[in-house]
Amino acid sequence: MGEGRVSEGRVLGGIRVYGLIVSMWMRSTMAYRASFAMTAFGNFAANAFDFVAILLMFSHIDALGGYSLPEIAFLYGTSSISFGLADLALGSMDRLGRRIRDGTLDTLLVRPAPVLAQVAADRFALRRLGRVTQGALVLGYAVVALDIAWTPLKVLLMPVMLLSGGVIFSAVFVAGAAFQFWAQDASEVQNSFTYGGATLLEYPPTVFAKDLVRGVTFVVPLAFVNWLPALYVLGRPYPLDVPRWLAFAAPLVAVVCMGLAGIVWRAGLRSYRSTGS
């Protein structure tokens, strides 16, 4: 992915493999329909409880960090959808550590298909649509409840924000999985950047210490998932002194993140030595 010019055929081949494995897992999930319905609902509810906690907070207050409930719902919805899309596409990647430990990764290495596509599609879980659905409902509420001064630019920015956000989170998933080539048992570290990042972005940046906001703007650029574009749509200033056009830099940041994640993935895969058993 990151190394020089990747032939188009390889990328398309990877996508085809991904699609094949995904459809296989979808069929196998449907064998246990009751369990699928419950886990899909669980996925929906998992996030819903986070929002219920915010609603409970707002039963005592009118603003959190200077933001009203619909404004926070806007941040919450955009964060959840972007994270949900990445989780749907690549959420199984935290199983890589287990595959490295028990040696089953070797089976994937000998198959004539890109390893990343195989790992990403492994145990694909359609139930993860639950989170996207829940995020979309909350975002819908926010858009209706808020009095946003829509401009063509703001309307255009909405899908760009959600998709770029999904790609940025996907890059974190890939980089986190690559990290497991070195630290085989540390999938939880990945969780703190993915689930932790998604939780952070549900709240306005004014809530957090400046250094933390700087960290997620310039070091791990999660702020481009929703904070910067969303605050532009909401007509709110960003707490750091950054140019306003940065709100539109999200796709660029997403592409750079994906490229870097690809490089890390290749380096990790190259350093992989089988368990030898």
Partner 1 sequence: MLRLYALVAAGGFRRHATYRVATVAGVFTNTVFGFIVAYTYIALWDQRPHLGGYDQAQALTYVWLGQGMMATVAMMGGGFEEELIERVRSGDIATDLYRPADLQLWWLAGDLGRAAFHLLVRGTLPMLLGALAFDLALPDNPFVWIAFVVAVVLGVVVSFAVRYLVALSSFWLLDGAGVTQIAALVTMFFSGMLLPLNVFPGALGELAKVLPWSALLQIPADVLLGKHTGWGLVGAYAFQLGWAAVLLTAGRLLQSAATTKVVVQGG
CB 221, min distance to partner 1, A:
17
Helices (H), the chain: 8-29, 33-57, 69-90, 96-102, 105-110, 115-121, 129-145, 152-179, 187-201, 210-214, 227-234, 250-271
Half-sphere exposure of 165 (CA within 13 A, CB side): 32
The smaller minimum CB distance to partner 1, of residues 5 and 27, is found at: 27
The smaller minimum CB distance to partner 1, of residues 64 and 163, is found at: 64
CB 211, min distance to partner 1, A:
11
The smaller minimum CB distance to partner 1, of residues 144 and 219, is found at: 219
CB 179, min distance to partner 1, A:
10
CB 224, min distance to partner 1, A:
18
By the criterion CB under 8 A, which residues form the site for partner 1? 32, 34-39, 41-43, 45-46, 49-50, 52-53, 56-57, 59-65, 183-189, 191-192, 196, 199-200, 203, 206-209, 212
To 10 degrees, the CA torsion angle through 42, 47, 48, 49?
90
The smaller minimum CB distance to partner 1, of residues 192 and 275, is found at: 192
Question: Which residue bears the tokens 């630019």?
Answer: 153
Q: Measured in whole angstroms, how far is the alpha carbon of residue 14 from the centre of its chain?
A: 20
Cross-strand bridge partners of residue 171: none
